Amino acid sequence: MPVVALADPDANAQRTVELLKAAAGEGAAVIAFPELGLTGYSVDDLVQQDALLDAALTALDTVRAATVGVAALVCVGVPLRVGDGLYNTAAVLHDGEILGVVPKSYLPNYREFYEQRLFAAARDAPVDEAVVLGERVPFGPDLLFEADDVPGLVVHVEICEDGWVPIPPSTWAALAGATVLVNLSGSPVTVGKEAYRRELSASHSARNVAAHVYVASGYGESTTDLAWDGDALITENGTLLARTTPFSTTDQTITADVDLDRLRQERARMISLRDQVGDYADHLRELRRIPVTVGQRPDSAPLRRSVAPFPFVPPPGPDRDERCREVGNIQVQGLTQRLRATGIEHIVIGISGGLDSTLALLVAVDAFDRLGLPRTNILAYTMPGFATGGATLGRAHALMSSLGVTGAEIDIRPACRQMLADLDHPVARGDEVYDVTFENVQAGQRTSLLFRLANEHNALVLGTGDLSELALGWCTYGVGDQMSHYNVNGSVPKTLIRHLIRWMIDTELHSETTATVLAEVLDDVISPELVPPGEDGAIQSTEDAVGPYELHDFFLYYVTRFGYRPRKVAFLARQAWSDSYDDATINHWLTVFLKRFMANQFKRTAMPNGPKVGSGGSLSPRGDWRSPSDAPSTAWLDDLN
């Protein structure tokens, strides 16, 4: 984003060269400058003066020469005469050559714009090649610049108004495979236009599953009747990656890394996009492809985009409250509809005093309030076992009492002792053998009780298990905590559950007494409390056994949502979590995740009904995730290794 020297192409060329060399030095593969950047957009009728046009050609030659030895694709705006017409164009340069020239397709001629007075439109061009600086080069809006050394990088260039019309030329390019859509713009600023540009760029990138690079004119343009803010944005599939500081009076450069793998994965999944490609296949085949070598990204290069450590969690900002309420509304609506459809007016739920059952109970309370049913119809049971701590048991009772539900306690230890004796388990003989059988006898007894209680009270068993546990298989199969009549947490990961409960405290959605209990739930160690504390008094920790949920949720998001190679997931995790985990730790827990995720598909195949909550997906075999239960993890582990 150079400061414009109005009607001074030589000065503009020098500034363009300085910026492109700086960008190339940072490893940029695609570099874009504003519309008519070599003359200034607001030169008005001066653009038809031969002196200015000659100087613009000389400036273009200066920039072209400066690209010798530069691997990046460079897009500069320049007015060019082709035949009898004057065109508003983008010249695409690479390593000392002009690879192609793209004329503007749609010329605005309303309000402050009168480009039809000055230029010919692309459709008026009688040729598809032009002689520029003595070279015969492709000419037209139908050019695709395809990297032969970076898989998936296909660039299309258009100019300003082309991106504001209902069907931009870049839409056709995206259907033909373009992944980076570049728009060279003039675009003076008016009140509200900055927000609209962001919306336009983000929605265009989302609709086309592409990256969108937008760069507009800035300081130095004529302020006779207009103002210029120098807006430049890089968006990817609806997400803003980078943006300039508005109204800067100095040169600016923004850079961002585009995730081509993400775009490829999303496009492969969007069958409707492929259908439209088929509808217009003949037209798309007419687009011309120009090969280019832009240079591989060095492994040591820093990543120029942020990687959120909690991809399932709404980012801080004005939309956070709305997003959190939306999650709750989805869960509540799912439960209310299931109760209406079945005619059931009671639910049974097990309360442990931990995160998952706490959120499920809060959802149930909201659902019953909306249905006009008494909270006492929620039959909540805490079921202490051999390792249940006094703190969690107390929290369970306090939570049930503060919410006004029907709370009760059933001690499962006598029934578990009988089953362990029937199994001739070592614990029944007095030995301290706390194996998986010992643990699952307790988990199974709790679920068995809940189902029989539901029979007794004509109630629905509300499940509490979350998405993270389903991914890791950290749930007891069959008549265990994996099973219920309906589960409102089934597509909510552990990190989001933590965030939702914290948000409820911050926004004072519940009484002070309930909020105090919620804060205690957040502060406690995540534990199934199935094995008695050790000699040191330490309680059983889930994360000590299977790893940190914050890492596993990160892995889950990128493995299932985008299908990334494990080595790329590890790379992204290092960017997001380097302050907390070293490379060896990340690789260790990613190995654990891959093994457990693949080995426990059989549990997910039989998971109960429940609403999908986020775009990160669910693991329901009826929804986002269909997978064989007997597939090995070999290919994934080999890739990580």
**Residue ranges covered by each domain of the chain:** 9-292, 319-543
Q: Does 560 count as an annotated binding residue?
A: no
Element (H, E) at 337: helix 320-342
- The single residue listed with the structure tokens 């309680």 is 539
Integer Cα distance of 191 and 195 in angstroms: 9
Integer Cα distance of 437 and 508 in angstroms: 42
DSSP 176: T
pTM for the model stands at 0.90
Q: Is 416 a catalytic residue?
A: no
User: What is the third-level CATH fold of 9-292?
Assistant: Nitrilase/N-carbamoyl-D-aminoacid amidohydrolase (3.60.110)
Q: Does 526 count as an annotated binding residue?
A: no
Q: Does 152 count as an annotated binding residue?
A: no
Q: Which residues, 6 or more positions from 221, have their beta carbon under 8 angstroms from its beta carbon?
A: 4, 6, 40, 41, 42, 186, 188, 228
- The single residue listed with the structure tokens 């439109």 is 121
pLDDT computed for residue 526 by the predictor: 93
- What tokens were used for 42? 């607001």
Which one is catalytic: 35, 236, 439, 529? 35
Integer Cα distance of 601 and 604 in angstroms: 5
Integer Cα distance of 634 and 230 in angstroms: 51
C-alpha torsion angle, residues 101, 199, 3, 251 (rounded to 10): -110
Q: What is the 3-state secondary structure (H, E, C) of 591-609?
A: HHHHHHHHHCHHHHHCCCC
Q: Does 603 count as an annotated binding residue?
A: yes
Which one is catalytic: 104, 161, 416, 529? 104
Integer Cα distance of 516 and 505 in angstroms: 8
pLDDT computed for residue 273 by the predictor: 86
Cβ atoms of 149 and 293 closer than 8 Å:
yes
Q: Does 355 count as an annotated binding residue?
A: yes
pLDDT computed for residue 511 by the predictor: 94
The letter for the amino acid at 330 is I
Q: Does 356 count as an annotated binding residue?
A: yes
pLDDT computed for residue 479 by the predictor: 77
CA dist 267 to 177, 278, 562, Å? 10, 14, 11
Q: Does 350 count as an annotated binding residue?
A: yes
Q: Does 474 count as an annotated binding residue?
A: yes
Q: Does 83 count as an annotated binding residue?
A: no
Across the chain, which distance is largest between two alpha carbons, in Å?
Answer: 102
pLDDT computed for residue 276 by the predictor: 87
Q: Does 353 count as an annotated binding residue?
A: yes
- What tokens were used for 484? 């219920």
Q: Does 330 count as an annotated binding residue?
A: no
- What tokens were used for 326? 């939306």
Q: Is 104 a catalytic residue?
A: yes
Q: Does 357 count as an annotated binding residue?
A: yes
Q: What is the 3-state secondary structure (H, E, C) of 61-86?
A: HHHHHHCCCCCCEEEEEEEEEECCEE
Q: Does 464 count as an annotated binding residue?
A: yes
**DSSP E strands, 116-243:** 129-132, 135-138, 143-147, 154-159, 180-184, 211-215, 232-236, 239-243
Q: Is 35 a catalytic residue?
A: yes
Low-confidence ranges of the chain (pLDDT < 50): none
- What tokens were used for 376? 């006492």
C-alpha torsion angle, residues 349, 354, 356, 360 (rounded to 10): 40
Which one is catalytic: 75, 115, 158, 160? 160
Q: Which residues, 6 or more positions from 152, have their beta carbon under 8 angstroms from its beta carbon?
A: 179, 260, 261, 263, 264
CATH number of 319-543: 3.40.50.620
- What tokens were used for 633? 């993890």
Return the exposure string of 332-357: e unless at least 16 CB atoms fall within 10 Å of the residue's CB, then b: bebbbebbeeeebbbbbbbbbbbbbb
Q: Which residues pair with 89 in a beta bridge?
A: 78, 103
pLDDT computed for residue 451 by the predictor: 97
